[in-house]
Chain A
Amino acid sequence: MKFARLPGTRSLRLALGAVRERTGVPGAELYVKVGNTRRIEIDPWMTPLPVDPDDLDTQVSILDERGWALRAGGANRALFLADSGPLPEPNGWRRLSRHSLRPGTLRLPSPSSGTSPGTAPSAAADLAEHETDDEETAGLALLHGVLRRLGERVPEARLIRGRLDTGASAAVLASTTGVTGRTALRLATVELDFAASRDGRQGHCRLYRAASNLQMLSADSIASEIAERLTLATAPAPPFLPAGEVAVSPALGCYLLALLAPLLQGRDGWRRLREFGAGRPLGPPQLQIVDDGALDAGWMSAAQDDEGVPTRAVGLVRDGEPGEPLLSWEDDGWSGFAAAGCRRRSGWRALPELCHSHLHIGGGSEAPESIRTGIVHGCYLLDRAHDGRCHATFEPSTNGSAGSLAEGRFEVDAIGLVIRRGTVLGEAPRVRLTGTVRQLLQGIRAIGNDLRFLPAPGAVGAPTLLLTGLQVEAIG
């Protein structure tokens, strides 16, 4: 099956010339993206497990996506235009004129702001046509494998919904400032929703996992993770909760780190991050928080961001102290810091926005097992509770809305285990972990060496963490 191909940068330059001629703008940029996705959805609505693969109602979608976006303008007038389908030919811009522009501004990166024209992969590498029929068979096998293995472990589990996406996308951009860029991504994601009932107690679990290809998703480990979570979610509440140490799994660590994302972006984030430190270290000396758009083997790894600016590793927190802010090319040189390629588009319809690509906690050296067994009196929290709270506030609330948090606080509902001297005393089906952002960072006592990335969105990675000084209470 033939999928859409990307135009070459020469076609983009010709189109840019036509746009400039029609509108008279000093600057313009064209971004073209193509992609294909194969989606398998199973929605048997509470089908008991194990289920016969032939009994599953599978809905398969083969999606061929392509579109382009134009940004044009200057100091006073600008235009953003996005459309599906192939890029128009140079004579296809007839409807554009000076009157198409409206008050506004447009600034574009130039090669001098750190971009590197001509370093992109070749067009042939953009969107290698993958064997989609094979992927469909492999995807169905993965889903059936998860259901079969889970049925063996938790026979009372019911599948609510399952969705597997595999796909690839490629993009090319060129601007009148001389910047060009190409990116190509391949991703497989699986999202599964299960329910179970044990002794009259209902529990739910939703799992969302991603990998750069389907073969890296293992049915056995996904089934184990779901079984673990369903078992905890349907357990009786513990008679007491120790308030000492809290170890959090990489999955929950990712959610906690994702909550801190606003502190780790741009000028405002940097100012707030420094305020949270209040002259003291933000965390232990081994704490490193890094965002790396070019991370080896990362799902979103690319040499350039979606504006053609080169990506690099940015040490946001180094040795427990504020390192450098994540700044886009527009803020290059602010307070003496260098910019990095960090503006991404959520699709061809979207404008580039500053965001992380592979935000993660590094620096861990301890084995996760030793962190868990080293808990004297506390909890090991495995994941977020299904449909529970997970938020943080960094601004003062102006209307005191119900349920809102004080500035600089976070709360996360989680499932986990109660542990005493390394021994599991019981399950904790729903607890609320709360504290201030400062307590969260400064309370890190150990960092595991089992770094793992989750889609949250983008890629957020964390290892097992040992935390102290936070509040844990049973809820529900």
Chain B
Amino acid sequence: MTSNANGAGQRRRLISDVAPPADALTRLVAHGDQQFEAFFERVESVELLPKGAPNRVRLRKEQGLAVRKIENGRSRLAAADTISGPAFAACCDRVAGTTRSIGTAPPRIRTGRWPALRLAEIEQAESRLTRAVNRRRVGFPMEITARRHRRQVQVIRSRVAAPPQFEEYFSLQVTTPWGVWGGLLPSLAAEDLDPVALCLVDRLRSRSLPPERPGRGVIVLGPNAAAVLLHEVVAHALEADTLALSGSPDQVVGLKLGGPELDVVDDPRSAPLACKRSSDDEGTAAISRWLLRRGRVRQPLADLAWAERYPSMIPGAGRRASRHRLPGPRTTHLELLPGAIPERELFAEAVGGLYIGEFERGNLDPFDGRCVLRAPCGRRIGATGPSDHTGPVEIRSRAVDLLAAVAAVGDRPLAGGAGWCAKDGALLPVWARCPSVRLEGLEVAD
């Protein structure tokens, strides 16, 4: 219980001693069908708005806890916006439905210190991004809002306490005269800001071009765009609650969704450095989960509740947007394993086709499996790779057709395509690592 997923050690522990609440939880159990879980959370967000905005620096901190009882598929959760022994005892009473459910004296719960507030790195984001744009010999007005997000989580289930988890990442919103770019970054270092500058310059160069005409052809997706595609048509499609809308979630195991070049893994342990997770938001150990193995479904995403309903499912993908929300099965870090085709060859067989570097939006209809992906711009593929810019592109297709269209997977995976997943209104950061992919026979929508 002393280790941490990202090696931060003691200084990032949320509560200093997990034994008192763990003991208290065991006193709540009336019979073997009951499970009790305590979730402690601490969140910090620092926001730096563009110059001239009122209250330019906005600091939000919060901490709280939730106690949950799970019994025969039903759950009861009580949450409070403070971490203390009396708040914990009150939550235990609410889920147990009795007073003094854990005894007369509330357990002593002490919290660790908040990590130091480092504002300098956020304040430097604007100048670094401006320099990265200027290096491409362009300049344009930008209003940059930079945010740093930190989250500490500690889950205790009966006597077992999972390792404390700590996540730190950044989000940027860049407003230009021709639109808004937004995304997540593992850091605000130059190497992470450089791809953002590339996206902004691409948008500048395609700003007044008309939407791409409908038609069938070859499309090459860059790592960012491939990540969004896989997030919608593999990760969302294989979440147990989404699968349950159209049948029994465990029946999809073995189903062929794509060609043998598609090996897709969800592995929270290999997320970017400060976002790695060794356990999920229910305290279950995170695993490297084969979602697709050679194009066939291997293991859908499940949390404890779905694993209890379908014993063939493995928990470990339970995520919660906050202590006030129930957990649900979600992806954390999606990886498309590299193929054998060098990037150059990927483009060589796609001359005349379309290159899409990023999708700004994706959506999957869980009922009919239709997916819509929108790119703000694209590039025509010439003899030497992506060349002339094009206007916005929209792809509408069934998820299975999108996966069936993957004809080749590049050999150079890159971290990218990170963003907010907003399923059911619960905002969660998601990460990915993908190579470029070539799609054949897909139609660009009207």
The chain A residues found within 8 Å of chain B, CB to CB, are 1-2, 41, 43, 45-46, 57-67, 71, 73, 78-86, 102-107, 160, 195, 202, 204, 349, 351, 387, 398-403
Contact = CB atoms under 8 A, between A and B. Distances in A.
A43 B211 contact: no
A66 B82 CA distance: 8
B90 A349 contact: no
Contact of A46 (B244, B326, B392): B244
B60 interface: yes
Contact of B57 (A46, A82, A104): A104
B368 A202 contact: yes
B398 interface: no
B207 A399 contact: yes
B209 A62 contact: no
B324 interface: yes
Contact of A62 (B56, B61, B64, B78): B78
A105 B58 CA distance: 12
Given A62-B77, A349-B62, A80 B57 contact: yes
A249 to B, nearest CB: 24
A61 B55 contact: no
A43 B76 CA distance: 14
Given A105-B54, A204-B367, A400-B210, A63 B59 contact: no
B211 A402 contact: yes
A84 B61 contact: yes
A104 B55 contact: yes
Interface in B42-82: 48, 51, 53-64, 73-82
Given A45-B245, A398-B207, A400-B392, A103 B55 contact: no
B57 A102 contact: yes
A21 B233 CA distance: 56
B368 A61 contact: no
Interface string B388-421: 0001111000000000000000000000000000
A103 B56 contact: yes
Given A82-B58, A85-B82, A399-B391, 20 more contacts: A43-B241, A57-B74, A58-B74, A59-B76, A59-B326, A60-B74, A61-B324, A62-B77, A64-B78, A79-B55, A80-B58, A85-B81, A102-B119, A104-B57, A160-B245, A399-B179, A399-B208, A399-B376, A400-B210, A400-B211
Nearest to A72: B55
Contact of A83 (B48, B61, B210): B61
A104 B56 contact: yes
A64 B81 contact: yes
14 contacts: A59-B76, A61-B77, A63-B79, A64-B78, A66-B81, A82-B62, A83-B60, A84-B61, A102-B48, A202-B367, A399-B178, A399-B392, A400-B392, A402-B392
A351 B56 CA distance: 12
Interface string B367-387: 110000010110000000000
A198 to B, nearest CB: 15
Contact of A63 (B82, B179, B324): B324
B94 interface: yes
Contact of B245 (A46, A349, A402): A46
B194 interface: no
Contacts of A195: 367
A165 B394 CA distance: 37
Contacts of A60: 74-77
Contacts of B54: 78, 104-107
Contacts of A102: 48, 56-57, 119
Interface string B173-184: 000011100000
Q: Considering the complex of A and B, which 3 residue pairs feature the smallest CB-CB distances, nearest first?
A: A84-B62, A104-B56, A84-B81
A401 B177 CA distance: 14
Contacts of A401: 179, 211, 374, 376, 391-392
Contacts of A204: 367
Contact of B75 (A59, A67, A387, A403): A59
A57 B245 contact: no
B231 interface: no
B270 interface: no
Given A1-B94, A62-B77, A73-B55, A84 B367 contact: no
Interface string B184-212: 00000000000000000001001111111
B62 A2 contact: no
Contacts of A1: 90, 93-94
Nearest to A35: B81
A41 B90 CA distance: 22
B445 interface: yes
Given A73-B55, A351-B55, A85 B179 contact: no
B374 A402 contact: yes
